[in-house]
Each structure stands twice: as C-alpha cells, then as structure tokens.
Amino acid sequence: MQDVHILATKVVEHTVTKYNHSQQSASIVIRCQNGHGINTHVVKIANQECSCGKWNQFGIPCSHAQKVCGAYDISAASMVKDYYDLMAYNNTYSKHFEPVQSEDYWEDPNFQLVHDPTIRISTHPSRNQTTRIHNEMDWRQTRAMQEAQQQGDSSIQENMPEEDC
C-alpha cells in the first residue's frame, strides 16, 4: 500500500505579468511551493473582481488583487465593499430590536398543520430519518420490473439487467 502524503500548497510568488491601463485589468501568475503548479488569474480593478472568485464572494480584495494594487500604487483598502465600513456597521446595529414575545401573544393561524407519517417512514430504525420525499426515480429496478409484469410489458423485462443486492 502506498503512503499518501497531503501537501499543503503555499504560494511562494505573485508576479504581475500584464496590465491594461484602459481596462484596468491585470494578469497575475502565481508560483506555488515545491513547484506544485503555476496558476494565472485575471484581476479587473474597475469591476472589483478576480478570476479566483474570492473578491466577488467576500467583498475584500484577494491576494491577487492586493498584489496588482500594490504594483500600481492603488489603495487596496479603498476597494473593500461598503458594508464592511464602520458607518454601515453602526447604522445596522444602532436601531432598537424588539424581542419576540411568548406564544401566548401570537395570533392564531388561519390554517391547520396536518402530520402525514407516511412521508418519513424509516425502513432501517438505526439510520437517521430523511426529510426528502421519495419519488419514482428512487425506485429500484426490481420495483420497475414488478410494475412491468403487472402491466404485461415483456419488452421492458427482457432489457432489464438483473440486480445484485
């Protein structure tokens, strides 16, 4: 049996290779430790996005965008989304929050909840129950063969492979 070693790849170097002033976009090459790969990302400063997706997802410039900003004297701190600003934080939490009252004060709903125990039947009592409602795509091939027999369709039965359990 072979030993499997998981190597954490650590970025050794970010190099800005191309910069387009008119579009404010740059191409950045990343070299990883021990020569485990070279990746290229495209950073678009004007759109505040990077091809790695981290800037788009979190709203904070990723390491690629920070490197491009540093190379061209652009403040990376000015590229952080506004919702991380202290003023936005203070505006969010300066309001008064009312706690939810106990159930005694709730309005009665104009509907009734009906429990259907057939939806969540567990065939294996030791397993956790699923909340997923099963449909015909979950049927096993044997069930499909049984239905074909009931309908008298012999062509389906002949083409079905035998199931090993």
User: Quick one: average pLDDT of 84-113?
Assistant: 87
How high does pLDDT run on average in the chain? 76
Does this model's pTM top 0.75? My answer is no
Provide the pairing of β-strand 25-32 with 11-20.
antiparallel
Nearest to 28 by CA among 63, 74, 76: 63
User: Which pLDDT score is estimated for 151?
Assistant: 75
pLDDT in tens, 113-126: 888 777 665 566 66
Distance CA 108, CA 120 (A): 27
User: Which pLDDT score is estimated for 81?
Assistant: 92
Residues whose CB is less than 8 angstroms from the CB of residue 141 and which lie 6 or more positions away in sequence, other chains included? 160, 161, 163
User: Which pLDDT score is estimated for 16?
Assistant: 83
pLDDT over 90, % of the chain: 10
User: Quick one: average pLDDT of 28-57?
Assistant: 83
The burial class, CB within 10 Å (0-12 / 13-18 / 19+), for 24 is middle
pLDDT in tens, 45-64: 889 999 989 999 999 999 88
Distance CA 36, CA 147 (A): 55
